[in-house]
Structure formats: structure tokens, C-alpha cells
Structure 1
Amino acid sequence: MSTATIVTLIITGLMAGMLSGLVGVGGGIIMVPMLVLILGFSQHQAQGTSLTVLVVPVTALAVYNYYNEGYINWKYAGIIAIFFVVGSYFGSKLAVNIDQKMLKKIFSIVLIVIAGKMLLEK
């Protein structure tokens, strides 16, 4: 692994962590595009690597800060987490069987639709 790659990975981690703590995004919005566009990963590799980062409690300190300010709804988070596990299992089973070009298009459309809705929302 080259020094440039290590620096890129460090920057990717910092940006994803900062945005995750700031606005609740990071994996799909930062890590996946950086891995694909800068490091040349396939869409499948980027998504798998991004999800692997989330296996460990990478957001624990951010959660701690939000908890201290009273901004966590534990009941909602628990329900979402349970079904996130189920959804991620079936989503990954589907994703690994989709052609990389189609997967990139699906990923891009999801980002555009969500961004457009949030941008145009009153």
C-alpha cells in the first residue's frame, strides 16, 4: 500500500467521520464515491468496504455527544437497528448479483432523489 493510498484512506475516514457526526452521513455519501472515483474500487468493493467500516462502533463518540445533549430516541434507534440488520442482509444479497454499471446507476439515482427532496423541501 502506497503512502498516497494511505493518505487518501485517512482523508476518506476523516471526511466520512466528520460528516457522520455533523449530519448523520458518511458511508454511502463519502466513502463509497472516494473508493470508486479516487482509489479505483469497483462499486461492489466500495460498498462492501464501507459497510465493513461500520461493523465496529465507529460512531460511538458521536453518539455520546448527541446522547449528552438529549438528541437520541433510543426506542426508535433500536427498532431501526434491528431492521437495518435484516435489510442490509437482503440488500447485500441483491447487490452482489447486480452488474456493477447498474449498481452505480442505482446508487447515483438514490443520492440524487434524496438530495433533491431534501433541497426542495419547505
Structure 2
Amino acid sequence: MTSIIIDILIGIAAGVLSGLFGIGGGIIIIPALIFFRHFPQLKAQGTSLVAMLPPVGIFAFLEYYKKGNVDVYSGIIICVTMLIAAKYGAQLAAVLPVDIMKKIFGIFIILVGIKTFFGK
């Protein structure tokens, strides 16, 4: 049950930030699956493709899937919650000043980079 809640939270974060900054999979879903679900790198990448399959590429997903590096269930949960949350992120982006959005985005990217670099 905890993993489902984490997947929903990842989908919400990816959706809101996608709507807010126009980002999603690689920058949000993959690090979140690694840090919060403790997925190995390749499984996080493959699972991220499930969530983003329609716009990203079915062929990349199939390669990860064939090698066992996909959690389809988590990917679908993230996809659905991301779809819903992206609407709210886009609405937030419409009202935030551009300078604030740039600063929030920059801080977010730095924090993800630091965690990725120093993480296990």
C-alpha cells in the first residue's frame, strides 16, 4: 500500500511540475523512483517510460520491458496521477511571476543534481 501512495505522489509531483515547468519523466519520475521507491537506475528508467509511453516512444519501452527493467503497475499509476496533476501545475504557472518560476526551477534542478551525485 505504501508503494501505491508513493507512486501517486510521484505522479502528482511530475504532473504539477510538468504543467508548471514543462518537464516530467527524466527529471522527476526517475530520481523519485530511485530515491523513494529504491528502484535500480534501469528499472526507474523503464518504469518512467510506461508513464510517458504515448508521447515518448514505444520502442524504448519495449527494450526496457524485454530486459525486465519495467514496473508496469507503478508506471500506470504515475501516468494517471501525472495526467491529472499537470492541469493544476499549468494553472499555477499561469499565475506565478516568471522570475519566481525560474528561481524555483533552478533550485529544484540543483537539488536533484546534488542528490543524484551524492546518493547511493
TM-score range, shorter chain: 0.5 to 0.7
Q: Which runs of 4+ in 1 moved over 4 A?
A: none
Paired-residue identity, %: 28
Aligned equivalent of 2:78, options 80, 84, 94: 80
- Deviation for aligned residue 1:58: 2.4
Of Structure 1 and Structure 2, the greater helix share is in 2
Query: Do 2:93 and 2:101's aligned partners in 1 also have CA atoms closer than 8 Å?
Result: yes
RMSD of equivalent CA atoms: 2.4
- Call closer, same or farther: CA 1:55–1:91 in 2, change over 3 Å: farther
Aligned equivalent of 1:89, options 87, 90, 115: 87
| Bigger RCO of structures 1 and 2 (CA < 8 A, at least 6 apart) | 2
Q: Please tell me the residue identity of whatever aligns with 2:56.
A: V
Partner of 1:108: 106
- Deviation for aligned residue 1:25: 2.3
- Residue 96 of structure 1 aligns to a residue whose secondary structure is helix
- Residue 104 of structure 2 aligns to a residue whose secondary structure is helix
Query: Does structure 1 residue 25 correspond to structure 2 residue 26?
Result: yes
Q: Please tell me the residue identity of whatever aligns with 2:94.
A: V
- Deviation for aligned residue 1:87: 1.5
TM score, norm. by length of structure 2: 0.53
- Residue 70 of structure 1 aligns to a residue whose secondary structure is coil
- Residue 56 of structure 2 aligns to a residue whose secondary structure is coil
- For each residue in 1:50-99, what CA deviation from the matched residue of structure 2 results, as whole angstroms up to 9, or x when unmatched? xxxx7953222211111111111111111111111122111111012111
Unaligned segments of structure 1, at least 5 residues: 1-23, 27-53
Counterparts of 1:106 and 1:99 in 2: how far apart (Å)? 11
Partner of 1:71: 69
- Call closer, same or farther: CA 1:74–1:55 in 2, change over 3 Å: closer
Q: Please tell me the residue identity of whatever aligns with 2:66.
A: N
TM score, norm. by length of structure 1: 0.52
Counterparts of 1:55 and 1:97 in 2: how far apart (Å)? 30
